Amino acid sequence: MTAPSDNNPEPPNPWAPPPAGRPMAPPPPMYPMQQMPHTPHMHPMQPPRNGLGVAALVVGLVGALSGVVPFLFWLAGVLGVLALIFGLVGHARSRRGEATNKGMALAGAILGVVAIALAAIWAAVIVMAVKDVADDIREDTDRHNASTPTPGTDSSDDSDGSDNPEGAGADDGSGADDGSAEPLKFGETFGYDDGVKVTVSKPRAYSPDEFAYGHKKGHRAVQLTITIINGSKKPMDITSALPSMRDAKGAEVEMIFDGSNATKPFEGKVLAGKRAVTQFAFSVPADAAKDIQLTFGPEVMRYEDRIWAGSAQ
């Protein structure tokens, strides 16, 4: 076997200690560690908060449109206040950079102010109109009470117009005489000078249903039919033609309303030569039903009220 040749020496061991007598190599220089630059923490971008601005514009627009309709003024007022609040808050958000629809929020706030103004105007108009109607009804009632004779009083004085023949029948032709005439009996017809006729039927017993309003337990419910014949030459507005009733003690009797049309007021107009018929129900105290009186006129401020009287028993 051949011995290993010296021409192929073994490779040096890098981990072996240096040979004796040979100086050790100095260690490599130490350099300070380079510090990495600090990167700030990036927060995620938040979406703009435009909800209140959009809500202000939509609510303000609906409120302004509602303010155009007279009987929706209350809705316009509520929506106007909401639109104003939403618009101001949305505008504040846009100034802080939280929203991007500054113009939309401002437009909504302006529409809210417009809606509030329209609501206030319509509220004032409706209040004034109701006040005027109430004043007219009060004046008509006072005039009627002043001219209506109390049952049992003597009305056979000199009020037949004989002392003033020129003034008799010299009004607008709406009545045959003044309010001091004797009451008519139920079932009779009264004719005005212009051809208009009113008939009030005799009272008949009525049974209110379970939805009745105005009827008191122990009272007698009666119903009457009223017929208006327009014999004049022009239409009549009978919307305001409402009767009133008093019992034998002079107390006002309440009208009955229920789901079976116990009372059905007149509506609209009656053309010349036409007629209108409807019914009214009243709750009369049982101890005061012997002598009742009904006051009725076919049109307020144009025709004098007449009185029909009789028993409801």
How confident is the model over 25-84, as pLDDT tens digits? 666 666 566 665 555 555 566 788 888 889 989 999 999 999 888 888 889 999 999 999
Using alpha carbons only, what angle is made at residue 200 by residues 199 and 202, rounded to the nearest 5 degrees?
Answer: 135
What pLDDT does 69 receive? 87
Residue 105 buriedness (CB in 10 A; 0-12 / 13-18 / 19+): buried
> What DSSP assignment string belongs to 229-287?
E--SSS-EE-TT---EEE-TTSPEEEE-B-TT-S-----SEE-TT-EEEEEEEEEE-GG
Residue 192 pLDDT greater than 90, yes or no: yes
Return mean pLDDT, the chain.
Answer: 80
pTM given for the model: 0.46
As a whole number of angstroms, the distance between CA 192 and CA 235 comes to 15
When pLDDT is averaged across residues 270-289 and rounded to a whole number, the result is: 92
What pLDDT does 30 receive? 65
What pLDDT does 169 receive? 37
As a whole number of angstroms, the distance between CA 51 and CA 125 comes to 36
Determine the length of the chain.
313
When pLDDT is averaged across residues 199-223 and rounded to a whole number, the result is: 91
What pLDDT does 189 receive? 94
What pLDDT does 49 receive? 87
Check if the beta carbon of residue 89 is closer than 8 Å to that of residue 140.
Answer: no
When pLDDT is averaged across residues 124-141 and rounded to a whole number, the result is: 82
| DSSP code at position 70 | G
Residue 308 pLDDT greater than 90, yes or no: yes
Max CA pair span of the chain: 179
Check if the beta carbon of residue 112 is closer than 8 Å to that of residue 82.
Answer: yes
List residues bridging with 222 in a β-sheet: 205, 282
When pLDDT is averaged across residues 245-263 and rounded to a whole number, the result is: 90
256: confidence class by pLDDT, cuts 50, 70, 90: very high
Using alpha carbons only, what angle is made at residue 225 by residues 220 and 226, rounded to the nearest 5 degrees?
Answer: 130
What pLDDT does 166 receive? 37
As a whole number of angstroms, the distance between CA 289 and CA 222 comes to 10
204: confidence class by pLDDT, cuts 50, 70, 90: very high
User: CA dihedral in degrees (269, 271, 275, 281; nearest 10)?
Assistant: 10
When pLDDT is averaged across residues 96-102 and rounded to a whole number, the result is: 88
Q: How far are the Cα atoms of 84, 109, 185, 243, 277 from residue 266, in angstroms, in the given order?
A: 44, 46, 22, 10, 8
As a whole number of angstroms, the distance between CA 208 and CA 222 comes to 9
What pLDDT does 111 receive? 94
147-177 tens-digit pLDDT: 554 444 443 333 343 343 333 333 444 444 4
Residue 285: CB atoms within 10 A of its CB come to 17
Half-sphere exposure of 218 (CA within 13 A, CB side): 3
97: confidence class by pLDDT, cuts 50, 70, 90: confident
Q: How far are the Cα atoms of 166, 254, 305 from residue 199, in angstroms, in the given order?
A: 30, 21, 13
As a whole number of angstroms, the distance between CA 12 and CA 286 comes to 138
- Choice among 47-61, 140-154, 267-281, 286-300 with the minimum mean pLDDT: 140-154
Strand, helix or coil for residue 304? coil
What pLDDT does 144 receive? 64
Greater pLDDT, 184 or 163: 184
| DSSP code at position 296 | E
Residue 101 pLDDT greater than 50, yes or no: yes
As a whole number of angstroms, the distance between CA 55 and CA 91 comes to 12
What pLDDT does 12 receive? 66
- CATH number, span 184-310: 2.60.40.1240
Strand, helix or coil for residue 54? helix
